[in-house]
Amino acid sequence: MSVAYAILFYIALAIMVIGVARRVIMYAKAPAPLKIPTTPAPTTQTGVVMRMFREVVFFESLFKSTKWTWIFGWMFHMGLFAVLARHSRYFNSLMPAEIVGPLKYAAFAMIIGLVGLLIRRFAVDRVRYISSPSDFAMLFLLILIGVSGAMMTFVSHTDITMVTHFFHTLMWPFDGIGELPGDILVWVHLLLVASLMIIFPVSKLLHAPGVFFSPSRNQVDNPREQRHVSDWAKKLEQN
């Protein structure tokens, strides 16, 4: 079982890395023929950087749009960030326990945020109308990942030492693959995580890197001061 999961994670990691890289390259090459920053927009590059920072960290535009969605969305994303930081101990044993320990409670913020976003999909008519089955599937998958992970921490404790050793051997497999604990929750949790990694490059979760390539967010509002010409148009002018 441990070898099967090791192979699964190698495949999932390859699919995720290659898939995300291809998408990012596609985003970077996509032409932006128009100057379309959402106003009020910054007029300097420094202002654009600050705007992107507020958007990525504080979800500024979502806060201005709908407070309830912002609350649940921000709870989920910040909880997820804290949970991922805590999981880094499986790859880096130097993480201090004083920092890693309290982060386990972030799982509750992550789960509450996801449940709130799921209820929103059902309860708000206009959101339910534009929701596809994949939207619900991704929310259910993330909720199951969060719940199974929280259960391993607060309900049925697993052997963290064995899990850490397993992932260390995945990074250095020349001496063999470590054993996973014989705990069904661990197997379910890791299977769900691997599934998410495989699905990630073809899901709406790609808004994570995609936000940095949004012309409505990353453009300087200076159409009068500087003529905007996309790269493909420059090549046409040269020819």
Q: Which pLDDT tens digits describe the chain residue by residue (239 residues)?
A: 889 999 999 999 999 999 999 999 999 988 888 888 998 899 999 999 999 999 999 999 999 989 999 999 999 999 999 999 888 877 766 666 677 778 889 999 999 999 999 999 999 999 999 999 999 999 999 999 999 999 998 988 888 888 888 988 888 877 788 899 888 999 999 999 999 999 999 999 999 999 999 999 999 998 888 887 777 666 666 66
- CATH number of the domain located at residue range(s) 2-6+37-219 in this protein: 1.20.950.20
- Residue 95 DSSP symbol: S
What interhelical angle do 67-87 and 106-123 show, nearest 10? 140
Helix (H) or strand (E) holding 182, with range, is: none
Contact assessment for residue 185 and residue 158, using Cβ atoms and an 8 Å cutoff: yes
Task: Tell me: cis bond preceding 40? Omega within 30 of 0 counts.
Answer: yes
Q: What's the rounded Cα separation, in Å, for the pair 98 and 117? A: 31
Tokens representing 104 are: 């386990």
Q: Which of 159, 227, 152 is nearest to 193 (CA)?
A: 152
Q: What's the rounded Cα separation, in Å, for the pair 107 and 145? A: 10
Query: Which sequence spans correspond to the domains of the chain?
Result: 2-6+37-219
Q: Which of 71, 160, 78 is nearest to 117 (CA)?
A: 71
Helix (H) or strand (E) holding 77, with range, is: helix 67-87
Q: What global pTM score does this model have? A: 0.88
Tokens representing 239 are: 């020819």
Q: What's the rounded Cα separation, in Å, for the pair 172 and 16? A: 20
